[in-house]
Structure 1
Amino acid sequence: MSKIAFLFPGQGAQHVGMGRTIVEKCPAAKQLFDQAGEILGYDLAKLCFEGPAEELDSTVISQPALFVTSLAALEMLRAERPDVVLGCEMTAGLSLGEYTALVFSGALTFEDGLKVVQRRGEAMQAAADKVPSGMVSALLLDRPQVEEVCQEASDAGRIFIANYLCPGNTVISGENAACEKAVELITAKGGKPIPLAVAGAFHTEIMKPADEQLAEALAGVPLKKPEIPLVSNVDAASHEEPDSIRSLLVRQVVSPVLWENSIRAMLDAGVTEFYEIGPGKVLKGLLKRINRKVPCETVNDS
């Protein structure tokens, strides 16, 4: 018998036009965008559907945009294939996507989740503005090689491993000079560096001011025990206690994302079928690099 898990994408999956077709198909999805506009104080639907891309790609906009669009895609799936949604037994989200997973699991309301995500985006953007920094994907290298890159590039500034995505795809974050040196080192070691279009060194100590602001935002938000196991980015384990979940969400901002470990934990728990719910197909691609045999269906505009 199959065991279904839902995965929700993180920042970087956004694109102009996302959500438009979903809203046209699904009244419940339109209601989410309308509600989001009231909560945020701006027309999120217009930014998602029409752009401009520069604004949609900013941290303060892209995080709420992905959160709402992914939940809109979930509503479309719920309307078209309710049995799949009812049959889901585990969930996880990549970085920002963890908040989407929390709402799906019943641990967090849509309204509270959106308010926290808005604060998270603002805090992370502010931290990034203080320290010119960025992120680079190191492709085709194994973990020890990427660790060597960070060690050697640290002469130029602070730099750390930020995301363990899948075999041959590890993301590093750091100050701009260190990232530039890392690009050279990755190439020299036979890897392929891809600088990412993000505002700063996410999931490192460089985000330190943001975690404190996020802790304040989360302190006033009710959290419930998730109705299904939700695997944390920080330790690739599921947690039931709201206080533990709250603490892990704060740590997540300054800790590496253990995505590969999270997927392997779900596979070990018996998951046989994944659904990537939200913009893009990044998580499906990562899953193929972890285990090619397990199917993953995408639920988005296409």
Structure 2
Amino acid sequence: GIVQVANDNCPGQLVISGDRAGMEAAMEALTAAGARKVVPLAVSIAAHSPLMQPAADALRAAIDGTAIVAPVVPVIGNTTAQPLTSVDAIRAELTAQLTGSVRWTASMQAMVGAGVTTFVELGAGDVLTGLVKRIDRSAVRVAVNDPDGLRAYAATLS
């Protein structure tokens, strides 16, 4: 079967992805090896695995026809954990995220190493904020779940 690390979320938390046979074998092996917790996730796709290549190819075709500008602030790629400094790098990263492992721990460490001290999570929930806490307890972490929350947080920055 096919299986690979889909997400290196934080110390002690990895997510794997693949086909059913690969996942079942990996979960058995991890349990036998003494993994503290092995939990199957209820998902409908094998995200961040080679099984997503057809979707990656279709996405790349769409991205190639989309106007993208080079970033004016540093953007860290999740699969490379490196700054994306060109339009070509952004296009490649967006496509690679479908089939490649998300290196969240290394991405956050790269930002901390570059001097980032505050992380703001936009969207529903605070899962990523919790992961940042497990990566760097000294980081300021803020979860903003709606437009009112964003306005309120932005007001604290003035």
TM tier, smaller: 0.7 to 0.9
Deviation at 1:198, TM superposition (A): 1.5
Partners of 1:247 and 1:193 in 2: CA distance: 32
The answer to which of 168-177 and 240-249 deviates more is 240-249
Match of 2:29 in 1: 185
Map 1:144-293; keep pairs closer than 5 Å: 157-191=1-35, 192-293=37-138
Map 1:25-174; keep pairs closer than 5 Å: 157-174=1-18
Deviation at 1:298, TM superposition (A): 0.7
Q: Give 2:109's aligned amino acid.
A: R
Q: Moved runs in structure 1, 4+ residues, more than 6 A?
A: none
Unaligned runs of 5+ in 1: 1-156
Q: Deviations over 1:171-229 (max 9, x none)?
A: 11111122122222222222201211211211111111111101111011000011211
Q: Give 1:197's aligned amino acid.
A: A
Partners of 2:23 and 2:61 in 1: CA distance: 31
Partners of 1:181 and 1:237 in 2: CA distance: 32
Partners of 1:180 and 1:240 in 2: CA distance: 39
Match of 1:150 in 2: none
Partners of 2:6 and 2:144 in 1: CA distance: 27
Percent identity between matched residues is: 43
SS at match of 2:68: coil
More relative contact order, 1 or 2 (CA 8 Å, 6+ apart) = 1
Partners of 1:177 and 1:223 in 2: CA distance: 39
Unaligned runs of 5+ in 2: 150-158
Q: Deviations over 1:97-130 (max 9, x none)?
A: xxxxxxxxxxxxxxxxxxxxxxxxxxxxxxxxxx
Question: Given the two structures, how large is their TM-score scaled by the length of structure 2?
Answer: 0.86
Q: Deviations over 1:123-180 (max 9, x none)?
A: xxxxxxxxxxxxxxxxxxxxxxxxxxxxxxxxxx111111111110011111112212
| Number of corresponding residues | 146
Alignment partner of 1:295 is 2:140? yes
SS at match of 1:244: helix
Task: Kindly indicate which of the two structures has a greater share of residues assigned to helix.
Answer: 1
SS at match of 1:164: strand
Deviation at 1:258, TM superposition (A): 0.8
SS at match of 1:230: coil
